[in-house]
């Protein structure tokens, strides 16, 4: 397992280089001058051409693209993500200041998703073609059909405007996390309901489940210890993908609810053409996604001893 872990860590390096290289190239193809945007934002007026040229020289934007990328990559090797063009603060500080808010939102979104999908998926598999099964499948269909931004606005309208139970936006206490977490959790729950139902139905038809029942084991023990555990392997794969997606893909939800996380911070950086911030954000998200997927692969071996890591 140690050799497998080390090989996977080495494989991360070309992934990180490729992701950041593509992002750097795409950002340089977008219209707009970061130096001009920075000066206009600082003074509120249109800067002169001389001021723009001086700022470009100071920011290193007059260098060829490959030199800009190489200089940034060299700093990253030394654990320096550079300074934001717009705030002049270290990018690492900007990201770590906002990361706890995104982690909090992701944690509660996963909790909401599991609270919805586990009972509905398991109940749907245990009682196929029943009213519970039909209800679970309808909820799953609605979940995967509703766009996240529309669901978020709907929850804001009923939960904040009509019922006045939760804050409309911002991060102010535990109540403020309910609506954005539900938006993300409900949006993910549909796929998990389907996967849990399908996996559990397959496991319930295997010979070792029939043997466990033939030995007289309690049904709760058969389902809980043998069936559900083995049916969770595909769920773990989806969790590995979605955890990374929650950190990097909750941009829309954070924007709707003005949640002070790294997703909204990245959107603001894109509008400001703050290349350094965007590069740091992409690198951080790549680290999270690859690391979580590695952890999921290692957990496979712990859950199912028949799996061998190669």
**What's 178's domain CATH number?**
1.10.3720.10
Instruction: Identify whether 213 is part of a domain.
Output: yes
Residue 196 lies in a domain: yes
Q: How far is CA 103 from the centre of its chain?
A: 9
Q: Tell me if 256 sits within 8 A of 179, measured CB to CB.
A: no
67 part of a folded domain: no
CA 272/CA 268 separation, integer angstroms = 6
Helices 49-59, 34-43: axis angle to 10 degrees equals 120
In a 13 Å sphere around the CA of 44, the CA atoms on its Cβ side amount to 0
Coil, strand, or helix at residue 129? coil
The reply to whether 5 falls in a domain is: no
**Residues spanned by the domain of 127:** 105-271
3-state SS assignment for residue 167: coil
Instruction: Report yes or no on 298 lying in a domain.
Output: no
Furthest-apart CA pair in the chain: how many Å? 85
For residue 224, how many other CB atoms are within 10 A of its CB? 12
Pair 26, 278: CB distance under 8 Å: no
What does the DSSP 8-state code read for residue 159? I
pLDDT digits (tens, 9 = 90+) for 240-296: 777 776 776 577 888 888 888 888 888 888 887 787 888 888 888 888 888 887 777
pLDDT at 116: 92
pLDDT score at 309: 53
Given this model, what pLDDT does residue 84 score? 82
In sequence order, which ranges of the chain are alpha helices (DSSP H)?
2-29, 34-43, 49-59, 65-77, 91-126, 131-145, 148-155, 178-204, 207-214, 219-221, 228-231, 233-249, 251-256, 262-271, 275-303
148-203 pLDDT, tens digit per residue, is 888 888 888 888 888 888 887 777 778 888 899 999 889 888 889 988 888 888 88
Render pLDDT for 2-30 as a digit per residue (tens, 0 to 9).
777 788 778 778 888 888 888 777 777 77
Is residue 231 included in any domain, yes or no? yes
Give the total residue count for the chain. Answer: 310
- Rounded to 10 degrees, the C-alpha dihedral 285/286/288/293 comes to 140
Residue among 146, 211, 208 nearest 182 (CA):
146
For residue 261, being part of any structural domain is answered with yes
CB 277 within 8 A of CB 263: no
pTM for this model (two decimals): 0.79
Higher pLDDT, 215 or 133: 133
C-alpha neighbours within 13 Å on the C-beta side of residue 119: 6
Q: How does the average pLDDT of the chain come out, rounded?
A: 81
Count structural domains, the chain: 1
> Hey, what are 119's tokens?
């009972």
pLDDT in tens, 82-126: 888 777 788 888 888 888 888 888 889 989 999 999 899 888 888
Q: Residue 132: how many CA atoms within 13 Å on its side-chain side? A: 12
């Amino acid at each position: 397992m140690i050799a497998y872990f080390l090989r996977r860590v080495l494989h991360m390096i070309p992934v990180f280089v490729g992701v950041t290289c593509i992002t750097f190239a795409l950002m340089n193809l977008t219209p707009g001058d970061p130096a001009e945007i920075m000066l206009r934002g600082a003074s509120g007026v249109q800067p002169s051409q001389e001021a723009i040229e001086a700022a470009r020289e100071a920011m290193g934007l007059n260098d060829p693209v490959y030199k800009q990328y190489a200089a940034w990559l060299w700093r990253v090797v030394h654990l320096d993500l550079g300074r934001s063009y717009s705030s002049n603060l270290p990018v690492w500080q900007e990201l770590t200041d906002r990361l706890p808010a995104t982690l909090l939102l992701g944690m509660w979104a996963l909790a909401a998703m599991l609270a919805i999908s586990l009972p509905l998926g398991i109940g749907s598999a245990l009682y196929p073609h029943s009213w519970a099964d039909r209800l679970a499948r309808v909820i799953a269909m609605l979940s995967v059909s509703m766009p996240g931004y529309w669901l978020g606005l709907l929850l804001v309208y009923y939960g904040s405007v009509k019922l006045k139970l939760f804050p409309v936006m911002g991060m102010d206490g535990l109540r403020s996390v309910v609506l954005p977490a539900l938006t993300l959790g409900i949006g993910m729950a549909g796929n998990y309901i389907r996967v849990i139902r399908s996996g559990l139905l397959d496991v319930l038809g295997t010979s070792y489940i029939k043997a466990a029942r033939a030995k007289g084991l309690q049904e709760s023990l058969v389902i809980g210890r043998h069936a559900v555990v083995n049916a969770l392997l595909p769920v773990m794969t989806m969790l590995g993908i979605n955890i990374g997606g929650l950190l990097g893909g909750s941009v829309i939800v954070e924007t709707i609810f003005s949640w002070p996380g790294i997703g909204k911070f990245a959107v603001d950086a894109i509008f400001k053409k703050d290349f350094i911030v965007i590069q740091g954000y992409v690198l951080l998200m790549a680290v999270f996604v690859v690391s979580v997927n590695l952890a999921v692969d290692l957990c496979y071996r712990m859950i199912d001893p028949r799996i061998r890591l190669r």
